[in-house]
Amino acid sequence: MKAGFWVAPEGEDGGVSMMPIGIDATASGFAGRSGLTGAGTISFLATASAAELIERCPQVAALLPQLVEALETQEAGAASRLFDLTGYGADDLTLIGQVLGEGEVSATVALPDGIVAQVQESVMAGLWRVRFTDRDGRLVADYAEVAAIPAAVERAALMVPSLETVGEPPAGAMNVMPLLTEIRDRARGHVKGAPAHTVTFSLFPMSDADMAFLQDSLGPGPIRILSRGYGTCRIVATGARNVWSVQFFNAMDTIVLDTLEIGDVPVTACAAVEDFRDSAERLREIEEAYFR
């Protein structure tokens, strides 16, 4: 294996893929989205074509104050607020995509029966667009969600089984067995909302045999998250509940910090209360300036 806990096998060029096998960018539901930053959103809304689009979309104008209210009152540990978009027309969805833009965090979540959730944070942190497609790529649900992390991510994480037993260590193993015992005990004992425990591989000597056995013992999970804030962070759920691979990369796509986190969805991917309030203010300004 290449350096890092969860990367492509030797001989493959790519690292973690954000699309599960069998899902392409078109089927995901996010192909062709604006990719706007906050500044790009404002630039678009200031155009004559945007004004005409807004005039045709009173349903969107009615939605924005509801989103603002949800962001003003949302707490980090509270249940998410969902706003169903499945009944909106093509113009409405285009305008919503332009207003929301694309923020720093995206995710792919594999659910039972071939359902895949594609998650994209908007340029307003804590406000997400979540779309579900079936195994044939057909859209089955589409909504905006105000949450620290979308419910689909948390629910998929809870579907992962606990780590119970591991096999016999391979030849050349050094530290993997005590590490797996620690991971198992901490994952079992984790209480939702408690701080995560972090294992940093640069501080924990592991042979190639150790790392391969650790990967095989934990296995792959159903969630892949990409966060592009200060650098790139890739988060992958393992096949053991409450155990996550969290890797930080520099501009050259080289791993600079390789860890396992034992706990809830890693905070790197989650919005905080301050994010909700800042996003409420930004969205209110947009709504007042362009939708009234």
- Phi, psi at residue 282, to the nearest 5°? -65, -45
Global confidence as pTM: 0.85
Does 4 have pLDDT greater than 60?
no
- 3-state secondary structure at position 126: coil
In angstroms, how far is the first alpha carbon of the chain from the final one?
Answer: 56
Quote the pLDDT of residue 40: 65
pLDDT band at 76 (very low <50, low <70, confident <90, very high): confident
Q: In what order do the strands lie in the sheet with 139-146?
A: 81-84, 139-146, 127-133, 116-121, 105-110, 220-229, 231-238, 243-249, 255-262, 197-200
Average pLDDT over residues 132-144: 94
- What distance in Å separates the CA atoms of residue 232 and residue 47, rounded to the nearest whole number? 33
- 69, containing H or E segment: helix 58-73
Q: 71 near 277, Cβ under 8 Å?
A: yes
Quote the pLDDT of residue 132: 95
Quote the pLDDT of residue 7: 42
Model pLDDT for residues 173-205, shown as the tens digit of each residue: 888 999 999 999 999 999 999 999 999 987 878
Q: What residue ranges define each of the domains in the chain, with the CATH number in brackets?
A: 38-148+272-290 (3.30.1370.140), 157-269 (3.30.1370.140)
Q: 198 near 187, Cβ under 8 Å?
A: no
How far apart, in Å, are the Cα atoms of 104 and each of 163, 175, 186, 272? 31, 36, 30, 14
How far apart, in Å, are the Cα atoms of 33 and each of 93, 138, 290? 10, 17, 21
- What distance in Å separates the CA atoms of residue 39 and residue 41, rounded to the nearest whole number? 5
Query: How many other C-beta atoms can be found within 10 angstroms of the C-beta atom of residue 134?
Result: 14
For 19, the token pair is 């699309």
Handedness of CA 119, 73, 272, 65 (dihedral sign): positive
For 138, the token pair is 């057909």
- What distance in Å separates the CA atoms of residue 230 and residue 228, rounded to the nearest whole number? 6
- Give the type of residue at 5: F
Model pLDDT for residues 262-281, shown as the tens digit of each residue: 999 999 999 999 999 999 99
Count helices and strands (H / E) in the chain.
8, 10
Quote the pLDDT of residue 113: 87
